[in-house]
Amino acid sequence: MHSVELLPDVVSERAVREVWRYLAERGLPSQAGHRHATNRPHLTLATAGRLPPQARARLLRALAEALPVPLCLDGLVRFSGRVRVLAWAVRPDEALLRLQERVWGILRDAPDSVGPNPLLDPARWVPHVTLGRGRDALWSVSAHEVFSPVAGMPPGVVSGQWTAARHYDSLTRTVEQLSP
C-alpha cells in the first residue's frame, strides 16, 4: 500500500509525541511503542495499491502549490473495528479539504493505479492523527487527562501548519519526501 501523508510543523509534532509518551507511561496502547524509523505523527490524505510515476509527478506539483496549509488538532476520536484506534481529530479548513480531494483524485485517475482506499474518499474522510492502536485496545482516559493545556488554547487543541508531505510504501517500509 502506498500512502500520501502530510507532516506537521515541529511544535505540533512535539505535542503529538507528548501524548504518545503520556499514553505509553500509563501502559496504554500508544504510537510511542512503534519503533520503526518511519513512525512519526502524520495525516494520511490518500492511499493506493500503486503509485505510478505520472501520479507522483502530479502529486509533487499539487503539494508544492498547496503547502503549507493550516493545522488544527481538536479533541479525541475513536475508531472501532478489527483494530481499535485512538486519534487526535483534525479540524479541516477549506485549504486542507481541497488538497485532500486533489490528492485523492490524482491517485484515483492515475493510469495503472490500483485505486485509492474508499474510506479516504473526500465524502467519507475522517482526518486524524493516530495516537494509539491495537486489536483489543481500550483507553480508560478522558480527553481532559490526555491533553495538557497549550497556552491560550483549550485542552486538546493545537494550531499550527502541515508543512511537508511524504510517500510511505508499506511493502518496503520506506518513505520518500514529496515536498521540500
- Structure confidence at residue 113 as a pLDDT band (50, 70, 90): low
CB 90 within 8 A of CB 78: no
pLDDT at 94: 97
Please determine, for residue 59, whether its predicted confidence score (pLDDT) is greater than 90.
yes
pLDDT above 70 coverage of the chain, percent: 94
User: What does the mean pLDDT of the chain come to?
Assistant: 89
The backbone region for 27, taken as left when phi is positive above 0, alpha when psi lies in -120 to 50, beta otherwise, is left
Please report, as a single letter, which amino acid is at residue 24: A
Evaluate whether 84 touches 8 at the Cβ level (below 8 Å).
no
pLDDT-derived band at 149 (thresholds 50, 70, 90) equals: low
Question: What is the Cα–Cα distance from 23 to 159, expressed in whole angstroms?
Answer: 21
Q: Which of 37-41, 52-56, 126-130 has the highest mean pLDDT?
A: 126-130
Which of the given ranges, 21-35, 103-117, 131-145, has the highest pLDDT on average? Answer: 21-35
3-state class of 130 per DSSP? strand
Q: State the architecture of 2-177 in CATH terms.
A: Alpha-Beta Complex (3.90)
Position 68 scores a pLDDT of 97
164-180 b/e with 16+ CB inside 10 Å = b? bbbbbeeeeeebeebbe
- Which pLDDT value is given to residue 139? 81
5 with 166: CB under 8 angstroms? yes
Question: 134 pairs with which residues across the strands?
Answer: 84
pLDDT band at 64; cut points 50, 70, 90: very high
SS3 at position 55 = helix
Outline where DSSP puts E strands in the chain. 2-8, 43-48, 69-79, 84-90, 128-134, 157-169, 174-177
Domain residue spans of the chain:
2-177
Judge contact between 155 and 1, C-beta under 8 A.
Answer: no
Cell of 93: 479548513
Give 64 or 170, the one with higher predicted confidence. Answer: 64
